[in-house]
Amino acid sequence: MEGSFDTIPLSDVLQMIHASRGTGVLHLKTHLLPLKLHFMLGEVVGGSILDWEGFEAIATFPLHPEQGQFRFEGGRVQGSPLMPFKVFVGEWARMNDQWARFRSVLDSPSRVLETPRPVEPFAVFVGGKSVRAAARAWGVPLIIAAERAWRGLREGDLTKLRKYAWFALRIRHPSARRTQAGIRNPNDMTVLLDSSRNLGELIQAGLPIAQVRAYLLERITNGELEAPGRGWILRDLLWEIEAEQAASK
């Protein structure tokens, strides 16, 4: 079974697999964002955006995409249902709504925020910390951390820095040395990715953040860059680009 979302809504696809007690993997893609859902006897037992696994990742994928494609491949799958199917779809819809609300002021959970006052619950942001890092520090789900950050930004307790969690990536591209030895294309970032500096340091040295985003997006989606965490990096990059495009209109 395969098709596009402009003819069959994703919610209908999910319901068909559930009703037929299908077992296999549902491949979804919209606006460069891929998602795999693992079904066993019509129940979702797992899912991932590249290497970012679990319901937290699943819930950041739009439940009602206007464009995109799907393909269901039957096959052996093992696991336990993440939650009953109706509950699963309901929670997915609820968290989609929450992300839309929080992103009205927060472009992505990779954004680094700062507070000048060590007052709880925002003391974790003293000196600057991404929302993803704050979630780990608080020991709470990412959506809870996003809600706290959203509230802090709205109430003036937090401010945004021009930094993101993925700035810490230190990438060693296998062809970086060969590129340096050959003819360098000034628009090719590969020559700089010798792991001597992280992406934030390269941006601070003058590399445009838009160019870095575009490079990461291209290399992750074509499978050339397989850095750990590429799933959440891809999700956040697409959110950030979407926010910038909306702001420029």
> What is the tens place of the pLDDT at every residue in 57-103?
999 999 999 999 999 999 999 999 999 999 999 999 999 999 999 99
157-184 pLDDT, tens per residue? 999 999 999 999 988 776 665 545 444 5
Average pLDDT, the chain: 92
Contact (CB, 8 A) for 243 and 108: yes
Beta bridge partners of 114: 159
pLDDT recorded at residue 190? 76
For residue 17, pLDDT beyond 60: yes
Residue 184's pLDDT is what?
Answer: 55
DSSP assignment letter at 127: T
**Mean pLDDT on 119-143:** 96
203/104 Cα distance (integer angstroms): 26
Tokens of 41: 């006897």
Q: How many CB atoms lie within 10 A of CB 44?
A: 24
Which residue type sits at 31?
Answer: H
* Tens-place pLDDT, residues 193-237: 877 889 999 999 899 999 999 999 999 999 988 888 999 999 999
Beta-bridge partner residues of 40: 43
Bridge partner list, 43: 40
Asked if pLDDT for residue 28 goes beyond 60, the answer is yes
pLDDT at 147: 98
Distance CA 85, CA 228 (A): 30
DSSP H or E stretch at residue 150: helix 142-155
E runs forming strands in the chain: 2-4, 24-30, 33-40, 43-49, 52-53, 69-74, 111-114, 129-130, 159-164
User: What CA–CA distance (Å, rounded) separates 135 from 227?
Assistant: 21
Q: What percent of the chain has pLDDT over 90?
A: 81
DSSP 183: P
SS3 string, 83-129, reads: CCHHHHHHHHHHHHHHHHHHCCCCCCCCEEEECCCCCCCHHHHCCCE
- The answer to whether residues 176 and 192 touch, using CB atoms and an 8 Å cutoff, is yes
Pairing outcome for strands 69-74 and 2-4: antiparallel
> Between 42 and 188, where is the model more confident?
42
pTM: 0.91
Distance CA 29, CA 13 (A): 13
- Please indicate whether residue 11 or residue 228 has the higher confidence score (pLDDT): 11
